[in-house]
Amino acid sequence: MLSLEQVSKVYQTRRGPHRVLDKVDLTLERGRNIGILGRNGAGKSTMIRVISGAERPTSGRIIRGMRVSWPLAFAGAFAHNLTGFDNLKFVCRVYGVPFKPLVPFVEEFTELGSFLREPVLHYSYGMMTRLAFALSMAVEFDCFLIDEAMVVGDARFHARCHYELFEKRKDRSFILVSHDPDVVMKHCENAVVLLDGRLHTFPNVESAYHFYNESLAKTPEVIEQ
């Protein structure tokens, strides 16, 4: 089980403290999944980072009763002066996973060929995303954190991610954040809406969908920077 208890996250900005998450509660049982809907700038990515443990909450606590991934396909978790393979080795060492058996999968999935022996800083964004996704799949987590906005790439890559995640690993938990209610509707068995730092819960995806669409209609979408 994964649970968030009264989690708040406040960032210091030049204009004073900015509260992104305000006493958020959330529980996810093993094997279940949930979608988090929110507009641009609603704090979805912050929430994913806090759940993953990359950032600490300002207050409240997070109890991880299962192995929770780092934000999926997030290309920022690389040492850029290391090669693709060295990054894979790093991840394997940190998570205690043997390296060798993973090589064929990573080679096949990333289609990076000899680039896996080049420093990541020479990669294009698409190449980095492919590597990042493959590394996330290399460690067998119980719960995957998916920031939909981060998974960029062509249709073929999307299809492969889809297969790896939603078909091969459909017994796992996942938390999917998205600004697109249709994506959440398609993949998640339940959904919550993040609005002004508060998390709104619903009995089913449909009511979350309606609430979110209405909130969109009420206020014009804020365009991020």
Q: Which is nearer to other proteins, 52 or 110 (CB)?
A: 52
Q: Which residue has 């996250």 as its token pair?
A: 9
What is the smallest separation between the CB atom of 49 and other proteins, expressed in angstroms?
6
Is residue 114 a contact point for other proteins (CB under 8 A)? no
Is residue 19 a contact point for other proteins (CB under 8 A)? no
Q: Are 34 and 70 in contact, with CB atoms under 8 Å apart?
A: no
Tell me which stretch binds other proteins (CB under 8 A): 69-77, 100-108, 148-156, 158-166: 69-77
When binding is defined by CB under 8 A, the residue of 18, 25, 59, 79 that contacts other proteins is 79
Q: Which is nearer to other proteins, 79 or 222 (CB)?
A: 79
What are residue 7's DSSP bridge partners?
Answer: 24
Q: Are 194 and 38 in contact, with CB atoms under 8 Å apart?
A: yes
Strands 16-28 and 2-13: what pairing? antiparallel
Per DSSP, 92 falls in state H
Is residue 101 a contact point for other proteins (CB under 8 A)? no
Q: Which residue has 């929110």 as its token pair?
A: 38
Question: What's the burial of 133, exposed, middle or buried (CB within 10 Å: 0-12/13-18/19+)?
Answer: buried
Tell me which stretch binds other proteins (CB under 8 A): 94-102, 121-129, 164-172, 200-208: 94-102
Q: Which residues bind other proteins (CB under 8 A)?
A: 1, 11, 49, 52-56, 63-68, 70-71, 74, 76-82, 86, 89-91, 93-96, 142
